[in-house]
Structure formats: C-alpha cells, structure tokens
Amino acid sequence: MQLENSMRNFDLPASDHDFDKASRLKDLPITSTHWGAYRVETGNGRIKALHGFEEDPDASPIGRGIIDAIDGPTRIRRPSVRKSWLENGPGTYPERRGAEAFVELTWQEAESLVARELTRVRSEYGNRGIFAGSYGWASAGRFHHAQSQIHRFLNCFGGYTHSKNTYSFAAAEVAVPHVIGAFRSFLPESTSWPAIATGAELVVAFGGIPLKNGQINSGGVGAHLQRQGLKQALDAGVEFVNVGPLRSDLDESAGSSWLPIRPCTDTALMLGIMHVLISEDLCDRDFLERFTVGFETFRAYVEGKVDGKAKTADWAAGICGIDADRIENLARRMAARKTMISTSWSLTRQAYGEQPFWAGIALASALGEIGLPGRGIGFGYSATNSIGGHYSRIPGASLPQGANGVEDFIPVARISDMLLNAGEDFDYNGATYKYPDIRLIYWAGGNPFHHHQDLNRMLSAWRKPETIIVHDWCWNPAAKHADIVLPCTASLERDDIAISPRDPYAVAMRKAVEPVGESRNDFDILAGIARCLGIEEEFTGGRSSAEWIRWIYEETARRSGSQGAEMPGYDEFQRAGWFKLDPPAEPVSFLSDFRRDPDSRALGTPSGKIEIYSETVAKFGYADCPGHPTWLPPREWLGAGNKDYPLHLITNQPAAKLHSQLDQGSESRKSKLNGREPISMHPADAEDRGLQDGETVKVFNSRGACVASVRITDGIRRGVVQMATGAWFDPESPGRIGSICKHGNPNVLTPDLGTSRLAQGPGANSCLVDVEGIGESTPGITAHDPPELIESDCRRSRPESPSSG
C-alpha cells in the first residue's frame, strides 16, 4: 500500500503549465470524480483551476468543464415548483412540463410539499405507485451517492418500484450469466493489460477500444490506464484489428488494421469466422469437450443443418459488407496466433444485443484460449478505465439502503413502456411480469432525457405521472421537465470519500467552495423531508454526514483487512488525502482458475461449464433470443434497403463529458461545431447530399429530428453517420411532442425497443436516418438557458440563508 502526502514530478496538462511549482499542489484540496482525480485551486471563494492528480499519467480534461458551470446561469439556486402544478395541484397540465415557469419556494415550503405529495400517492396508490429509477452517475463520492440516498429514503417510507440492469450493457447482464455463470462480477476479473502484453499476439476488437470512453470509471478514477495499457501491448508487438464502422474506435497511432463492417453485423462476422474454423478443422476440440457444452448443437446451426443456410465466409460477407477473403484470412490468423477477442459494451446496445457477446464467447471457446495468459475473451476494454486494470481493488462499503417493501420492477430501459402501458404484461429473462401504475417519479441523479431512446415517445410517457420530483444542481432537461426541483450541491461543495472496487485509489474528497445559493446535500434534503414524514431517525440512522463518511471508511477498512490488505486509520487517511493499494503480484487472466480446475472452479451455469447452447434459454421459447448465438437481422440496418432513411446512425459516448454531465461547461462547448453536436459523415455521403464540412444540417427519421453540424471524414464507413450522445435536449417548441431538437440530441432519433424478450435492454444503435441541409432557417440554441423563475410571496417575506436546515 502507498500512503503519501508528498508530490512526484509529473507532466501537467497543457493549461497547467503556468502554475508556479508542482510542489505547491500538495497543499491544495483533492477531489475525485468519475473522470479523474484533481487538485483544486480556489480564489475568492471560487474554483480557479483543476490540476491533474500527480499519480495520473493521462489526466482527463473533462473536469475543467465544471469551473464555469458550478456557479453559472444553469445553476439551480432555490427549491422550485412548476407554476401550474403549484397553483392547480398534481396531475394538472403535464403537457407544460419543459415549457413553463417555476416558482421559487423556501425549503420549509418545499419539504412540506414533497412530504404531503408522497403521503398522498402512498395512501391512494400504494408504494408501488412511486418509481425511483434515479439512473445516473451523480457523484464519485461514496456517501453522497444520489441513487443510494433516495433509495434508502424511500425504503424507510415503505419502498418503491425499481429498475434492473444498466443502459451500458443490459443485454449482456442478462444473457452472459446463462453462458458463463455471471457477468458484472466478472468485469473486475478481466484479463489485465500486462497479461495481454506478455501473453497475446493478436487482439481482435469487435467495436474497437475507444480510449475516449476509458476516461471514466464509476466511483472515481485515481490514474487513467487505458492509453498506457494499449501502448504497453503495442510496444510488446501485439497486433490489433479494429472491427467496426468507425476507424477512431481504436487509436490510429496503434497502427491497427481496420475492418469496417456494417453496424450491427458483428454476430454474422463471428459466425462466418466460426464456419472457417469448423470447415478447416481449426477448432480446439479438447477445450470444447472439456470446458463447454452444446457446441454440436451450435455447429449444426453454423453449418446450415438447421435452417438450410451455411454461415460461410461468403454468407457473412454479404451481410457485413466486406470481402469474404478478409473474413477467411482473419479466421486463420486467429487460429494460428495467441488471440484475445475484445467485445465492446456498445455491441449490446442494438437489436438482439444479447447475440454478439454470446457469439464472442463461442468463438473464443472454439479457439480454445479462454483462461490462458492474455488470451480468450474480454468485455469492454476502454469502456471504462477499470477494464483490464492490473491492481488490487478496495471492497468499499456503501450507505445501507435497507429493504424495499415493493417487489415491482422494470428493466432499466423500459421506462416509457411502463408509463404508457400500466397493467400490461412484459417478458424478462424467462418470466412474465406486469407494468405497475406509476403516479409519482422521484429522480435524484442522472438525466433520463440523455439515457433514454425515442425522446418524443418518452415526452408522451412523461405526461402520465401526476408528479415528478427531481434533485439536481443544474437546469438540465430532467429538471426542466419536472414538477418539483430541489437544488443539491455539486461534489466540490461537500466532503466525501471516493472508494471503489473498480479502482485501487481511495481519495478524501475535500470541500473546496461553499454551496451556491440555497443548495443542500441530498442527505440533508431527504432528512428534512423525512422529518416532515416522521421517519428522520430511521433515515439518518442518528448520524450526520461526517459520521456516515467515517463509518463507510472504517467499515471498508474492516473488510479490506479481512482480505489481507491493511488501510490507514481514518484520521491518517484524511491527513494524507489519498492512498493506493499495491497491485497483485501476477497479471490477471480471465477464467484462468476455471481452466486450471474446471471441477472445483466450476462456473455458475447449470452444467458448470461454458454453455454455447443454453437449454435454459432455449426453453424460454423466445424467437428473438434462441438457445445459441444466432444471426437475427435488425429491423433497422443497412441491409434493410430502406430508401427513406438510408444512413445508419451510431450514437456513441462523448469525448468531452460523461454522458450529459457538464454539457454546459467549457470542455463540452469546445467539442461542438456551431454550438451543436457534430455528425460525422463519409465524403461520398456528404457529396451525394451537397453538404460541406461544418454545415448545419437536419438529421431525421420517422421518430423525430435534430439539428447538427457536419464533420466530413474518411474514418467512417460509407452509409454510416455518427453522433455522440449527451447534448442537452432542446426542443424548438418546448412541451410539444415531435418538435425538432435544436441542439443535437440524437436520442430523438433512436428506437425505444428492447433488445429481446430476454433482457429488454436498449437497442439504440439499430437506427436509420437521413441528413439534409437546413438552409438559413437555423433555430437558436436555448439548451443551457434556465427556465423563467418567479419568487413566491413566502420567499419575499421570509428569505432563507444558504446554510439553513
């Protein structure tokens, strides 16, 4: 373990070169975020600069985006209630959400109002009428984690309808456990970059290894490792193949080869490779016999004995849009060399997103290299910073959430379905459930107008609840479309600790500035409401924020000690500011224990082996997710021959922010063209439409339209366009369904369909659009303008201080 309060020499980001001496940084408070740790420089009560943490060799610039945003015009400064909701009561004029003024209240008024509304909904509809998905990455702090806070509060109140899985990889979360026994718990056991550097010769990256995504990590980042890990492998002579429509999904300096297949055809390509392995007797029969079940059933499908279509390289070439000889050559190279197959998380976010990961596992099994050093299968390299990390992990304790008295749930991406189809059945992972009748949404952390698909459909669904309550620190689209908005602090305005099982660093997050306006911590907000409900003691547990932070740290230290890793005492940790656990002695290779001893280290599948064919899944009887990897043509893809919408839209993660966080900040604004999200397009597609680089365009399909700015590049496959997600939703006519988004939020275009009946995950990347010039009628951008704010009579007569309560 490293415990330091001293500085090492390190390369500062470019904007930090004018800072006096690196040695001065040790005196600055430290903080941690989902995109990195920083030393925080303040002056006159404001943030002046964020400096990359001295341990971080590749500090992310994303953090600087908060400097001008934390007290900027988007900041929510007081409790606020939508005007017509306040005047006319719950459920009135929901079509005005997003278009109406807010009335600013005192905290006393707001607490009483929320408590009364929660009590009313529980009395009339029961706790199952309350939905608190609260999906988001609000803070890296272990205590001030908005989702944990709201879930604990509502459990004290009797419970709530919850959501399962994630937008990141829901299809894999449900499907992969049927194949290898687990998924999420396996991610920390991913084969480490040092193991790849020393054990692999070839990495075939389906969906690439996009370093921009590796800036982030849920729970905090001490040091960014993805660029360093990739370079280590390249320096060792490992060859990389980037499989996907975007050349930028693997760092071009890597010298990798690019296989620009059509989007959503990775499964077909894997099946074509599999056919080559089978027909040329290149499969590892011993591995398949000892470590897997169901290969012969799958083989019959690949050879065409099931449906009369052999999944040859020629067959796959027609689907993927590349030459058959490239598929055959890749298959032979994979069989001849020590190969790692990497599958991007983005592959799950398409129609039938369960299939690519399952097919990748089957392909790695046929090669017989699962469990060998640096080889086999990996999920999501550079999807987050932690994947492939060579470090020990801290078993972090969390705020206890208690028991939820409500059993109802939805798959995370089925919010609109739930709101529009109350009482109707839905399938999920082999069972049938009913959508609950939601009357109140309580959202703390996150922005559903970023995460969710088909925003016009969601706007319609968003009108169904009688009340929507949001905690946030800025007037993002979720806050603007709420009824009651409670202003919470930003992470730099409070103490906390960053401790994550996904990172070896623990950071004492120091309060750097006072809260803006009357904002409060989520804990204090909920404690005030709990006081009105008579459950304050139950919610707070008799502890203050500072006492909970100490408890979480000391409980983490106890767990860590039981695993043989000693942590410093709490006071020592606070003085030092951070510490790091020493890395493990040997690089990690995924499923190496299973390979060494498949009997005592059996997998959590019914057979204890890798299930290339799953009898369990087959018995579910889902036509959209059979019992083995299968090519299922999406409704929307380039092979559909859609003349109205001939371009395939890829919506990937942004480089200059995390999801939609800090979209209003300086770093995000610098990434835009003409103030809008860029759309990348092949030169031939631009020429066909008479478009010039930098031109403002309309991107559209039958679901909606948004405004973007063209970026012409030959680093994208022809027929494909790409827009990053995260631009704040900015409809030209707020509140009107079908209004064009002026700012460039691509989720007005993406389909809101589940990946399959198995997982019901988001299928955003199966999306067809067209693009045209917008001419001189370009609408102005108002995404970052706050709503009209009206001061209540009570506020005018009795203003509160920021520290009250």
Neighbour count for residue 407 (Cβ, 10 Å)? 11
| Residue 135 annotated in active site | yes
Distance CA 772, CA 780 (A): 18
Give yes or no for a contact between 140 and 219, defined as CB atoms under 8 angstroms apart: yes
DSSP 544: -
Three-class DSSP category at 30: strand
Could you write out the DSSP letters of every residue in 634-680? Answer: -SSSGGG--SSS-EEEEEE--SSSBTTBTTTSHHHHHT-BTTB-EEE
Could you write out the DSSP letters of every residue in 461-530? Answer: HHTSSSEEEEEESB--HHHHT-SEEEEB--GGGS-EEEE-TT-SEEEEE---SPPSTT-B-HHHHHHHHH
Residues facing 161 on adjacent strands: 131
Give yes or no for a contact between 419 and 462, defined as CB atoms under 8 angstroms apart: yes
| Residue 137 annotated in active site | yes
Distances (CA, A) of 165 to 169, 422, 501, 669, 802: 8, 20, 18, 31, 37
Three-class DSSP category at 569: coil
Q: Closest by alpha carbon to 440, among 105, 100, 134? A: 134
User: Which is it for strands 696-700 and 610-611: parallel, antiparallel or unpaired?
Assistant: unpaired
Token couple for 392 = 């020990």
Query: What does the chain come to in residues?
Result: 805
Distance CA 229, CA 374 (A): 12
Non-local (6+) Cβ contacts of 805 within 8 A are 107, 520, 524, 528
Phi, psi of 239 (to 5 degrees): -95, 140
Exactly one of 38, 85, 137, 167 is catalytic; name it. 137
Q: Closest by alpha carbon to 490, among 140, 123, 168, 44? A: 140
Could you write out the DSSP letters of every residue in 365-396? Answer: HHHT-TTSTT-EEEE-BTTBTTTT--S-----
Give yes or no for a contact between 146 and 122, defined as CB atoms under 8 angstroms apart: no
Q: Provide the CA 154 distance to its chain's centre, in angstroms.
A: 24
Residues facing 260 on adjacent strands: none
Non-local (6+) Cβ contacts of 322 within 8 A are 259, 260, 261
Exactly one of 38, 85, 135, 435 is catalytic; name it. 135
Give yes or no for a contact between 667 and 65, defined as CB atoms under 8 angstroms apart: yes
Non-local (6+) Cβ contacts of 462 within 8 A are 94, 97, 419, 468, 481
**Residues with catalytic function:** 135, 137
